[in-house]
Amino acid sequence: MKLEDKLYTVGSKPDEAGSHLAIKDPAPCLGPCEALGRPCTTFCPARVYVWATDRITVAYSNCLECTACRTGCPFANIDCRLPRGGFGVAHKYG
């Protein structure tokens, strides 16, 4: 089963008002993080972070709210917050 299909199984209400995730500064991603393989683009369980030519795109509406990106970014360059109350994932089983 593809990850995209798995993400459809997750009950979620994305916050239309905006993203709870952001790359603080594009410089480390372009520069020194390339050599490290830009870890957020590999370890994120929902593959929210994707390298697109010259920057990382953030598909926040797929976020599963594990907050690993905040801890795993080698440059502490991801501003990862929790979605506003009532938004984001709502587990059926958990």
Partner 1 sequence: MSERFDCIVAGGGLAGLTAAYTMAKAGLKVAVIERGTSPGAKNVMGGVLYRQPTELIFPEFWKSAPVERPVAQQSLWVLGKKGALELGVKNPARTAPPYNAFTVLRAKFDKWLGRQVVDAGALIIPETVATDVILENGAIVGVRTDREDGDLYASAVIAADGVYSQIAWKAGLRREWRPDQVSLAVKEVIALPAERIEDRFHLSDGAGATIELVGDATMGMMGIAFIYTNKDSLSVGVGVMLADLVKHRRNPNDVLENLKAHKVIQPLLAGGVVREYVAHMIPEGGYESIPKLFANGLLVAGDAAQLVNSFHREGSNLAMHSGRLAAETIIEAAKRGDFSATALSRYRDRLDDSFVMKDMKQYAGIGSYLEHRPHYFGVYPDLVNDVLFEFFAIDSIPKREKLRIMFRKALESRSLFGMLRDGVGLIMRLLLKSV
According to CB under 8 A, which residues from 12 to 71 bind partner 1? Answer: 36-37, 39, 42-47, 64-68, 70-71
* Other C-beta atoms lying within 10 Å of the C-beta of residue 22: 14
Backbone angles phi, psi at 38, to 5 degrees: 45, 75
Does 1 engage in binding with partner 1 (CB under 8 A)?
A: yes
Does 7 engage in binding with partner 1 (CB under 8 A)?
A: yes
Structure tokens at 38: 């830009």
Q: Which three-class secondary structure string do you get for 64-76?
A: CCCCHHHHHCCCC
Q: List residues binding partner 1 (CB under 8 A).
A: 1, 3, 6-7, 9-10, 36-37, 39, 42-47, 64-68, 70-72, 74, 76, 82-86, 88-94
